[in-house]
């Protein structure tokens, strides 16, 4: 039983013959699977240390780089009625080509001779303004004449006043002399009366003295009367001098009033001329607005108003035009969490709608069907709709050119490339929800002591 005896033949037990052994045993196929799994595990572990380019994706569309090259809508500047179309959708037009013609609908502008009649009104008003200017000149001459005449009249009145003063002085002397003669005659008459009473003089002598006394009295009265008359003439001369001054002031004020009235009327006429000239220029410019022309060269894309005879209002969209020569750029929107990572000059990979691509976002060099781009600008404020920031991206001149058939409005998905990290680090970052790493510039890697600073000149 123990197998010690040589006479006893003991058969070797085959484990595989037992059912339980077959259930728990490892087959050759299982060993192959284990080897494959171990190999895959080894490959996975090795791949965790492979470089991975961090990135973030953003959706957007293509647009023109320059605002003046983007699609624009042509509007009608004035109210009118569509008379005729000169283009069709899809036509290429040059700058200044006539797109359509409209006619006038306002009663104010329906007169075909509006410009001629307005010009006639301007000429009439201008002539009226010239007449007022001439009237002002005439009044200036009249004022100068008044001043010259007043100067002469005042000089004449002053001479008369001086003559009256001298006459009063002369008459005063004559009056004083007559007064002295009268006093002498009076004294002599009194002495003669005394002598007559004493019988020393005759009656004839006394009567002669009385007659002489009466003559001196008459002379005194005449001299006094003449003096009073001279004084009246002096007062008249003074009054005349003042009257001349007041008359001059009155005439001067009247002439200046008429002058200022003419000047005011002239200014009003000039203002009306300017107003009419403004209206004339507006009418002239408006007449040129009956033809809607292309603001720049491009393709007619869509007509908003199409019916001939259809009324349009000022500011109404008429037609859309796409510039023929434009440089494409992509507008994509990124989340606020990615904003600090995006800067001008960052590299971007693009997937355009309609162009198939095989994407390996972490290994952009292995991707196929993508196109390169460079960040041109980042908006300083977020979009009001979704609180995202707009990023403008232009083609990368060092990469494959963008497809020629691309058009404005084509959808684009941008893969913004950031720092290169190991795969395991990227998995850890994604699991923890951390943002990608910043770019590391060459200057950031240098030590401060290795950077040479030049003094500001």
Helices (H), 14-113: 19-24, 28-47
Instruction: Give residue 433's pLDDT.
Output: 65
**Which tens digit of pLDDT belongs to each residue from 260-280?**
888 888 888 888 889 988 888
Instruction: Give residue 22's pLDDT.
Output: 57
Q: Please name the helix (run of DSSP H) or strand (run of DSSP E) that holds residue 118, with its range, or none.
A: helix 114-198
* CATH number attached to the domain at 71-104+293-323: 2.40.50.100
Mean pLDDT score, 150-171 = 83
Q: At what angle do helices 203-288 and 114-198 cross, to 10 degrees?
A: 170
Unique residue bearing structure tokens 């020393």? 200
The DSSP letter of residue 437 is P
The domain 114-288 having CATH identifier 3.40.640.10: the answer here is no
Instruction: Give residue 437's pLDDT.
Output: 60
Q: Report if pTM > 0.85.
A: no
Instruction: Give residue 420's pLDDT.
Output: 64
Under the banding of pLDDT at 50, 70 and 90, the label for residue 365 is: low
| Highest-pLDDT range among 295-299, 362-366, 442-446 | 295-299
Mean pLDDT score, 40-60 = 75
- Please spell the DSSP secondary structure of 167-202, one letter per residue: HHHHHHHHHHHHHHHHHHHHHHHHHHHHHHHHTSS-
- Please spell the DSSP secondary structure of 246-306, one letter per residue: HHHHHHHHHHHHHHHHHHHHHHHHHHHHHHHHHHHHHHHHHHHTTEEE-SSSEEEEEES--
Q: Please name the helix (run of DSSP H) or strand (run of DSSP E) that holds residue 53, with its range, or none.
A: strand 51-64
Q: Between vectors from CA 27 to CA 23 and to CA 31, what angle results, nearest 5°?
A: 130
Classify the phi-psi angles of 11: left when phi > 0, otherwise alpha if psi is within -120 to 50, otherwise beta. Answer: beta
Say if residue 94's pLDDT is above 70: yes
What percent of the chain has a predicted confidence (pLDDT) above 70?
80
Compute the mean pLDDT over every residue in the chain, rounded to the nearest whole number: 77
DSSP helix/strand/coil, 90: coil
Instruction: Give residue 455's pLDDT.
Output: 34
- Residue, of 205 and 332, whose pLDDT is higher: 332
- Residue, of 72 and 419, whose pLDDT is higher: 72
- Residue, of 423 and 291, whose pLDDT is higher: 291
Say if residue 130's pLDDT is above 60: yes
Instruction: Give residue 368's pLDDT.
Output: 59
Going by C-alpha positions, the residue among 304, 296, 253 that lies closest to residue 139 is: 253
Under the banding of pLDDT at 50, 70 and 90, the label for residue 180 is: confident
Say if residue 69's pLDDT is above 60: yes
Helices (H), 393-441: 423-432
Classify the phi-psi angles of 73: left when phi > 0, otherwise alpha if psi is within -120 to 50, otherwise beta. Answer: beta
Where does 309-457 show beta strands of DSSP type E? 311-312, 317-323, 328-334, 347-352, 371-382, 389-395, 411-422
Under the banding of pLDDT at 50, 70 and 90, the label for residue 399 is: confident
CA 29 from chain centre, in angstroms, equals 85
What percent of the chain has a predicted confidence (pLDDT) above 90?
0
Alpha-carbon distance of 215 to 188, in angstroms, equals: 13
Instruction: Give residue 358's pLDDT.
Output: 61
**Which tens digit of pLDDT belongs to each residue from 213-249?**
788 888 888 888 888 888 888 888 888 888 888 888 8
Q: Hey, where are the domains in the chain?
A: 53-68+326-450, 71-104+293-323, 114-288
Alpha-carbon distance of 237 to 233, in angstroms, equals: 6
Q: Which CATH number fits domain 53-68+326-450: 3.40.50.2300, 2.60.40.1150, 3.30.565.10, 2.40.30.170?
A: 2.40.30.170
């Amino acid at each position: 039983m123990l197998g010690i005896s040589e006479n006893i033949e003991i058969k070797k037990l085959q484990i595989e013959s037992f059912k339980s052994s077959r259930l728990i045993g490892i087959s050759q196929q299982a060993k192959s699977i284990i080897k494959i799994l171990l190999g895959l595990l080894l490959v996975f572990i090795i791949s965790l240390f492979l470089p991975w380019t961090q990135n973030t994706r953003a959706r957007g569309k293509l647009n023109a780089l320059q605002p003046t090259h983007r699609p624009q809508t042509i509007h009608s500047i004035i109210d009118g009625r569509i008379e005729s179309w000169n283009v069709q959708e899809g036509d290429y037009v040059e700058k200044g080509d006539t797109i359509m013609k409209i006619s006038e609908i306002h009663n104010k502008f329906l007169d075909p001779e509006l410009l001629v009649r307005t010009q006639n009104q301007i000429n009439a008003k201008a002539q009226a303004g010239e007449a007022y200017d001439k009237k002002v000149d005439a009044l200036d001459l009249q004022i100068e004449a008044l001043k010259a005449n007043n100067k002469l009249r005042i000089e004449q009145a002053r001479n008369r006043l001086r003559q009256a003063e001298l006459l009063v002085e002369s008459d005063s002397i004559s009056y004083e002399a007559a007064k002295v003669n009268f006093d002498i005659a009076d004294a002599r008459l009194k002495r003669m009366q005394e002598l007559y009473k004493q019988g020393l003089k005759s009656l004839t002598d006394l009567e002669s003295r009385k007659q002489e006394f009466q003559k001196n009295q008459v002379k005194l009265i005449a001299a006094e009367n003449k003096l009073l008359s001279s004084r009246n003439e002096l007062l008249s001369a003074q009054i005349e001098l003042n009257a001349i001054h007041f008359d001059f002031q009155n005439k001067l004020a009247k002439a200046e009033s008429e002058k200022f009235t003419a000047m005011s009327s002239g200014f009003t006429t000039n203002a009306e001329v300017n107003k009419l000239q403004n209206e004339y220029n507006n009418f002239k410019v408006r007449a040129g607005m009956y033809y809607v022309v292309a603001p720049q060269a491009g393709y007619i894309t869509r007509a908003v108003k199409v019916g001939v005879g259809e009324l349009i209002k000022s500011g109404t969209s008429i037609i859309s035009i796409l510039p023929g020569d434009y440089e494409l750029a992509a507008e994509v929107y990124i989340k606020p969490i990615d904003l600090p990572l995006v800067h001008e000059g960052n590299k971007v990979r693009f997937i355009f709608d309609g162009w198939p691509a095989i994407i390996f976002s972490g290994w952009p060099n292995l991707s196929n069907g993508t196109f390169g781009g460079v960040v041109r600008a980042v908006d300083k404020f977020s979009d009001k709709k979704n609180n995202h920031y707009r990023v403008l991206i232009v083609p990368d001149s060092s990469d494959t050119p963008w497809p020629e058939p691309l058009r404005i409005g084509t959808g684009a998905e941008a893969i913004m490339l950031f720092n290169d990290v190991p795969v395991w680090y990227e998995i850890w970052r994604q699991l923890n929800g951390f943002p990608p790493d910043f770019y590391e510039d060459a200057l950031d890697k240098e030590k401060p002591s290795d950077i040479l600073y030049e003094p500001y000149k």
